Structure 1
Amino acid sequence: MKKILLIIAIVLVAFIGFGLFQASKLQNLQIVKSVTIKGTQQEVFDMVHYLKNFPKWSPFLAADPTQKYEVKGIDGMVGASYHWVGNGGEDVGHQTIMQIDSLNFIGMKCDIQKPFAAQPTFEYSFKETQNGIEVTQDFQLQSSLVDAFFMWAFGAVEEMENTNQQGLDLMKKAVEK
């Protein structure tokens, strides 16, 4: 019995040690995704620039159509924010436009209050190519070691990558329809 408990303890310590090592790599998380959209630079830029358009390409609203949302401030201006409450009040937060470089760049900061507290940033850059407008989304999140451990343990990074790509794919669909 003591040998079994010792083996379990060793496995548990190894798992936690490995998990903390992996989590240390996730404390400064960056996810970069892009999509090329057939449309004018103005059309594509405005899909992000005007927060009233976010419901057209929000992967969160696609997952929870009952989500409540509103835009506060002057839409399309620095300081405008998109507020949401979803999943019966279990998802709460807002994102605010922090920087705009017309037709080229939009920087946003999120303040997620539920289901966990986080303040990720989203930076969108827009570049004209021969195939259309390339939109690059640069998502960055700084986390504590404990939060990063849980992200690692539950595979949250892959889910975030998929969600970010889904949003860009929905944006493409919204502009190209």
Structure 2
Amino acid sequence: MIILAILVLLLIAFLLYIASLPDAFRVERSLEINAASEQIFPLINDFHAWEAWSPWEKADPQVQRSYSGNDSGPGAVYAWQGNKQLGEERMEILETRPHDYLRLQINFYKPFAAQNTIEFKLESQAGKTVVSHAMFGPSNFMSKLMGTFFNMDKMVGGKFDEGLQSLKAIAEKSSTSAAGK
């Protein structure tokens, strides 16, 4: 009986700890790219261009994609259904400031439901551009619980790092080609 009471108390303490965690999260990565923001911005403002640089695009060669709304910018919509890594999701561009800022809403349907915000910020600095990629949103109890076992910053942040490196390679190659003309 004492062991059962101790286990119940430990469970309650664990659940109280989970409930006390922050009610929001933010994952962000930045990278300096040797290209003008005018060359980088179209790669993130048009979902059709994401296939070339987004690491999630490589996770499932059989992914089913759909595009709707505007071709790029606010109102552009990208949805997909993929394997366990990709799940089922939908993104929509909500706001842009050309060559400077992009805000998206991402809705996760499978393997779990969530709604978050994604931001890209581009800061020009002497012919280079610092690109920041962030995702943030609320952390409900289940998100907090999962976060105690899976490091979201490491998992998502690692993909952001990978995507920014791919974006860098494409933009710098394009910048070098444009400079050589």
Q: TM-score surpassing 0.5? A: yes
**Which residue in 1 is equivalent to 2:19?**
20
Secondary structure, in 3 states, of the residue corresponding to 2:89? Answer: strand
Distance 1:15 1:83 in 2: 37
Distance 1:148 1:159, change over 3 A: same
The answer to whether the 8 A contact 2:59-2:85 is kept is no
Letter paired with 1:13: I
Partner of 1:76: 72
* Compared CA separation, residues 20 and 157, structure 1 to 2 (3 A): farther
Write out per-residue CA displacement over residues 110-146 of structure 1, whole angstroms, 9 at most, x where no aligned residue: 1111111111111111111237211112311113223
CA contact (8 A) 1:36 1:131 kept: no
Match in the other structure for 1:123: 119
CA contact (8 A) 2:84 2:111 kept: no
Quick check: 151-160 or 37-46, which moved more? 151-160
Deviation string 1:82-114 (CA, Å, 9 cap, x unpaired) is 111110797111111111111111111111111
Alpha-carbon separation, structure 2, partners of 1:89 and 1:162 = 14
Give the match for residue 101 of structure 2: 105
Greater shift, 133-142 or 4-13, is seen at 4-13
Q: State the partner residue of 1:170.
A: 166
CA distance in 1, matches of 2:150, 2:62: 26
What percentage of residue pairs aligned between the two structures are identical?
23
Could you list the runs of 4 or more consecutive aligned residues of structure 1 that deviate by over 4 angstroms after TM superposition?
none
Unaligned runs of 5+ in 1: none
- 2:62 is aligned, of 62, 66, 71, to 66
Normalising by the residue count of structure 1, what TM-score does the alignment of the two structures yield?
Answer: 0.85
* TM-score (normalizing by structure 2): 0.83
Structure 2 match to 1:57: 53
For residue 6 of structure 2, what is the aligned residue in structure 1?
Answer: 7
RMSD, aligned α-carbons = 2.2
Count matched residues: 173
Which amino acid in structure 2 is aligned with residue 65 of structure 1?
P
Partners of 1:130 and 1:89 in 2: how far apart?
38
Contact between 1:38 and 1:133, CA under 8 Å: does it hold in 2?
yes
Equivalent residue for 2:44? 48
DSSP 3-state at the match of 1:45: helix
Contact 1:34 / 1:134 at 8 angstroms: preserved in 2? yes
Q: Which amino acid aligns with 1:84?
A: W
Partner of 1:114: 110
Aligned to 2:140: 144
Q: Is there any run of 5+ residues in structure 2 with no aligned partner, and where?
A: 174-181
